[in-house]
Structure 1
């Protein structure tokens, strides 16, 4: 099990030595901790760190599980917050989230799903994992009281539904619907199955949905 950290040089920003050292330490420690929790990541993982405005507004950064062994971490270096401050608050939980995806095979290049709910459950597991083991309180993991109505909405979506507005910002103003609903379902499943976020990370999505008390609706 190894991890490589790459700092992508861009005209807009060059990470200095102090930033590179701190961010590299967070990456290595996070990788070792997640590998210990889950047993093995099974890959040589590369974390590509780059300046980008493509971030979550509230955090100033964003992570992506690009492939089976690559994670991208974007950070907006134009913000008033210092790079080190953003990294100290958000890099560890982001890596816990994305490494959980690598462990489960939920990546942007090469992942396959059998239903829209597969992705919802994958995200819910990753959110619960980062929340429970990285001392994080992600906004995309706080679900509303009427979240059961969101479950019904998502269960009715077909596999070819475009995911963007359900994962990020819906046309009606709601945000992170899939993430929040997935977190709710995984919380229910963990409670019903009396298991933790590490244990549920090793279950397939249909079993998690079943533990939560739901099943995929057969499309007409």
Structure 2
């Protein structure tokens, strides 16, 4: 089951917000598992309030390990928090559960010798939340010149600044890695005839091959 756990920081979450979180976890449980049958049996959703949220959206999430998702809500009035949960928790669970199955997690995951690995993992999860959960987040879209973005990312060393390339680049671009990764995922999906869930276990080298793209520069990942 996907079970919410309300951490000490979230003790002030109103009952209506907690109830909404609990209901969404229960409602999407079976649907997520139909797409991702390899998902671990017991998944913990650690809920808290805090500042590590997406600006303007009011929430943040991460796959901590293969059995744990962290979901953070911004401090806000109860009605606003409930609206954020109602709009974003379901597709967020789809995105993060894809990471759990793929092993793209903060603790206990494998290290990989290329920056593009994270790009592909986030792109596949973004395509999955869009196609399976029916929600196109801003990081699921990509511009007409996305091929140039892919070239930039393929040329990066493994120790390149993750936040700069995945979230907010100094030149003003947002979510470069997520958006280019979704493009790579879409190419692999189209050319293989397999969806993002079916590609969850495919190595990144295989995803690039299916997408018709070159392999990345290799190096030693950071510790």
TM-score class, shorter-chain normalisation, is over 0.9
Between Structure 1 and Structure 2, how many residues are aligned? 218
Instruction: Give the structure 2 partner of residue 131 of structure 1.
Output: 130
From the superposition, tell whether residues 28 and 190 of structure 1 become closer, same or farther in structure 2 (CA, over 3 Å): same
**Structure 1 residue 143: deviation in Å?**
0.5
**Is the CA contact (8 Å cut-off) linking 1:37 and 1:198 kept in structure 2?**
yes
Aligned to 2:48: 50
Greater shift in the superposed pair: 174-183 or 69-78 = 69-78
1:79 Cα shift?
Answer: 6.2
Equivalent position to 1:32, from 30, 33, 39 = 30
Alignment of 1:111-122 (within 5 A): 111=109, 112-122=111-121
Matches within 5 A, 1:1-220: 2-10=1-9, 14-78=12-76, 82-111=80-109, 112-218=111-217
Using structure 2 for the length normalisation, give the TM-score. 0.91
- Cα pair 2:114 2:216 within 8 Å, conserved: no
TM-score normalised to structure 1 length: 0.92
Q: Give the 3 Å change call, closer, same or farther, for CA 212–59 of structure 1 in structure 2.
A: same
Range moving further from structure 2, 133-142 or 38-47: 38-47
- Quote how far apart the aligned CAs of 1:9 are: 2.9
> Over the residues paired in the alignment, what is the CA RMSD in angstroms?
1.8
| Contact kept? 1:117, 1:216, Cα under 8 Å | no
Aligned equivalents of 2:142 and 2:79: distance in 1? 28
Provide the rounded CA distance (Å) in 2 between the counterparts of 1:8 and 1:78: 17
Q: Which runs of 5+ in 1 are unaligned?
A: none
Give 4+ residue runs of structure 1 displaced > 6 Å after superposition: none
Evaluate the alpha carbon distance shift between residue 198 and residue 116 of structure 1 in structure 2; reply closer, same or farther with a 3 A threshold.
Answer: same
